[in-house]
């Protein structure tokens, strides 16, 4: 790919409404390298592979972190990215937590702009229900054998058009409470988006799916009493008196979707509250859901906890408040309602 960053403009020929949450090759990705204490200017490339040293710290000592955000085509035909500045700040937090060189906020945003712009034809058309998932990845690429941070880093950002994370989209899923696997330790890195947290969750996710559940609800690792995460997403619940509740915990990822829902819930008079949520409380909620970039809002239809199961969606349909929140969030992302909070970043050209 040349440095002039020319790119094809005709929409890709994809079956947009049939897309799953998976990888589809696009025209290019972007890479920035940090060496000798500074970042370079970044380059777009068609190469899907990364040549790195076999002793790179990302391969041995987990110096790796990532982000996830989405671009949408709006009703008026613009391409917008949802709350990219928040993802930039979260990558900065994560990078510092595991002693990686944090990409400057402006560089992160520039990387997102350039790679989305260059792959504009892969942004799913308005109305298809699909979106362009953006995956920034930061890795330590310097060779180390002793357990020490790298001096060299690469930030790369690829994009891929996606459909819903849970296969039926905005339909209630069955969840099970996990008691045999901890996703993150109380003073560990659960609040940072490092790959190791996902490695730690693979076994529990696979076991849940084998038993017919979509994913697991994790409890806090210290007391096994309070709700932490909900698969690769935050947990929220609606109480019977119409309050939006979501867990407060140092070992969950501060979800940007959840933060947005807290704002919207407040505007809707749902009195949002973050507090430790005792697992026994699930039996009293009116609705529950997972929320995240990939999951958007995925309503929880039932939760199994030991011998008991609570069912929120006996008719297989999402609850009314989850539906209202989902519609509001989607309407903002798709430019159907005014972006009063300044959450959308328009990609030029
Ligand atoms: N929790 C975990 C473990 C996640 O992987 C994600 C996804 O990014 C979230 C929560 C939701 O965060 P966000 O809404 O920022 O995507
Ligand atoms: C996201 O929602 O962006 C995530 O990172 C979740 C998952 C696909 C890892």
Q: How far apart are CA 127 and CA 17, in angstroms?
A: 9
229 Cβ closer than 6 Å to some ligand 1 atom: yes
Question: How many percent of the chain have pLDDT more than 90?
Answer: 96
Matching residue, tokens 């060299």:
152
Ligand 1 pocket mutation pick from 293, 297, 329 by most atoms within 8 angstroms of CB: 293
Enter the pTM of the model: 0.97
Alpha carbon 344 to its chain's center: 16
CA distances from 210 to 165, 180, 207, 225 (A): 18, 15, 5, 25
Q: 14-51 burial, b for 16+ CB within 10 Å, e for fewer?
A: bebeebeeeeeebbbbbbbbbeeeeeeebebeeeeeee
Does ligand 2 lie within 6 Å of residue 68's CB atom? yes
Answer for the pair 258, 236: CB distance below 8 angstroms, yes or no: yes
Q: What is the distance between the alpha carbons of residues 261 and 256, in angstroms, rounded to a whole number?
A: 9
pLDDT digits (tens, 9 = 90+) for 48-98: 999 999 999 999 999 999 999 999 999 999 999 999 999 999 999 999 999
**Residues 6+ positions from 148 with CB-CB distance below 8 Å:** 57
257 Cβ below 6 A of ligand 1: yes
Beta bridge partners of 288: 237
- The average pLDDT across 225-242 equals 97
Query: How far is 18 from 278, CA to CA, in rounded Å?
Result: 38
Mean pLDDT of 96-125: 98
pLDDT at residue 136 greater than cutoff 60: yes
Tell me, using a 6 A CB cutoff, whether residue 253 lines ligand 1. Answer: yes
> Closest residue (by CA) to atom 6 of ligand 2?
232
pLDDT confidence of residue 167: 84
Q: What is the pLDDT of residues 291-342, one digit of tens each?
A: 999 999 999 999 999 999 999 999 999 999 999 999 999 999 999 999 999 9
Instruction: Output the residue whose Cα is nearest ligand 1's atom 9.
Output: 233
Distance between CA atoms of residues 103 and 26, nearest Å: 24
- Ligand 1 within 6 A of 293 CB? yes
Nearest atom, ligand 1, residue 293 CA: 16
Render pLDDT for 245-294 as a digit per residue (tens, 0 to 9).
Answer: 999 999 999 999 999 999 999 999 999 999 999 999 999 999 999 999 99
Atom of ligand 1 nearest to the CA of 193: 5
Q: Which residues contact 135 (CB under 8 A, 6 or more apart)?
A: 66, 67, 68, 157, 158, 159, 160
> Probe ligand 1: pick from 252, 253, 263, max atoms within 8 Å of CB?
253
Contact 294 CB / ligand 2 (< 6 Å):
yes
**What is the H or E stretch that residue 133 is in?**
strand 131-140
Instruction: Kindly state the DSSP code that residue 92 receives in the 8-state scheme.
Output: H
* Ligand 2 atom, smallest distance to 68 CA: 3
Cβ within 8 Å of residue 155, ≥6 positions away? 31, 32, 34, 39, 42, 103, 107, 108, 111, 136, 137, 138
Query: Residue 293 C-alpha to ligand 2 middle, in angstroms?
Result: 6
Name the phi and psi angles at 54, rounded to 5.
-65, -20
pLDDT (average), residues 136-154:
98
Q: Does this chain's domain 16-163 share its CATH topology with 173-333?
A: no
Decide the pairing of beta strands 29-35 and 38-39: antiparallel
Is pLDDT at 1 greater than 90 in this prediction? no
The whole-number pLDDT of residue 3 equals 44
CATH architecture of 173-333: Alpha-Beta Barrel (3.20)
The matching CATH number, chosen from 3.40.50.10310, 3.40.50.720, 3.30.470.10, 3.40.50.300, for 16-163 is: 3.30.470.10
Q: Is 233 in the pocket of ligand 1 (CB under 6 A)?
A: yes
Residue to probe by mutation, ligand 2, list 163, 165, 197, most atoms within 8 Å of CB: 165
Listed residue (284, 218, 225, 292) closest to 256, CA to CA = 292
Query: Is the Cβ atom of 292 under 6 angstroms away from ligand 2?
Result: yes
Place 217 in a pLDDT band, splitting at 50, 70 and 90: very high
Residue 4 has pLDDT above 80, yes or no: no
Each residue of 198-210: pLDDT tens digit?
A: 999 999 999 999 9
**CA of 68, closest atom in ligand 1:** 8
Ligand in closest contact with the CA of 253:
1
The response to whether residue 86 sits with its C-beta less than 6 Å from ligand 1 reads no
Give me the pLDDT at residue 9, please.
78
pLDDT digit string, tens, across residues 12-46: 999 999 999 999 999 999 999 999 999 999 999 99
Q: What is the mean pLDDT of residues 119-135?
A: 97
**Which token pair is 305?**
């906890």
What are the residue boundaries of the structural domains of the chain, listed by start?
Answer: 16-163, 173-333
Asked whether the predicted pLDDT for residue 120 surpasses 70, the reply is yes
Please tell me the distance between residue 88's alpha carbon and the centre of ligand 1 in angstroms.
Answer: 14
What average pLDDT does this structure show over 213-242?
97
Kindly list the catalytic residues: 193
Q: Which ligand is nearest to the CA of 290?
A: 1
Q: Within 13 Å and on the Cβ side, how many CA atoms surround 152?
A: 12
How far is ligand 1, taken at its centre, from the CA of residue 109, in Å? 19
Place of tokens 């947990």: 235
Confidence of residue 6 (pLDDT cuts 50, 70, 90): low
pLDDT at residue 346 is higher than 70: yes
């Amino acid at each position: 790919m040349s440095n002039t960053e020319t790119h094809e403009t005709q929409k890709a020929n994809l079956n947009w409404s049939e897309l799953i949450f998976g990888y589809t090759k696009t025209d290019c990705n972007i890479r920035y390298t940090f060496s000798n204490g500074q970042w370079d200017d970044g380059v777009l490339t068609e190469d899907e592979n990364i040549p790195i040293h076999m002793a790179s710290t990302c391969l041995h000592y987990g110096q790796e972190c990532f982000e996830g955000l989405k671009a949408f085509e709006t009703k008026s035909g613009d391409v917008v990215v949802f709350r990219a500045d928040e993802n930039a700040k979260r990558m900065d937090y994560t990078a510092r937590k595991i002693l990686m060189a944090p990409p400057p906020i402006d560089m992160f945003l520039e990387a997102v702009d350039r790679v989305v712009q260059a792959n504009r034809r892969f942004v799913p058309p308005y109305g298809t229900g699909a979106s362009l998932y953006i995956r920034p990845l930061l890795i330590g690429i310097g060779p180390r054998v002793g357990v020490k941070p790298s001096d060299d880093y690469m930030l790369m950002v690829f994009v891929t058009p996606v459909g819903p994370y849970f296969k039926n989209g905005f339909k209630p899923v069955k969840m099970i409470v996990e008691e045999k696997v901890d996703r993150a330790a109380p003073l560990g890195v659960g609040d940072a988006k490092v790959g190791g947290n996902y490695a730690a969750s693979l076994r529990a996710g696979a076991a849940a799916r084998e038993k017919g559940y979509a994913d697991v609800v994790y409890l806090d690792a210290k007391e096994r009493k309070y709700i932490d995460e909900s698969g690769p997403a935050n947990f929220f619940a609606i109480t019977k008196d119409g309050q939006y509740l979501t867990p407060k915990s140092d070992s969950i990822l501060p979800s940007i979707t959840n933060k947005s829902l807290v704002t919207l819930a407040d505007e809707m008079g749902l009195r949002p509250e973050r507090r430790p949520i005792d697992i026994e409380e699930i039996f009293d909620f009116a609705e529950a859901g997972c929320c995240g970039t990939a999951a958007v809002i995925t309503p929880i239809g039932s939760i199994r906890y030991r011998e008991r199961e609570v069912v929120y969606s006996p008719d297989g349909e999402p609850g009314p408040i989850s539906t209202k929140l989902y519609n509001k969030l989607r309407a903002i992302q798709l430019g159907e309602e005014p972006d009063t909070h300044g959450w959308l970043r328009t990609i030029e050209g």
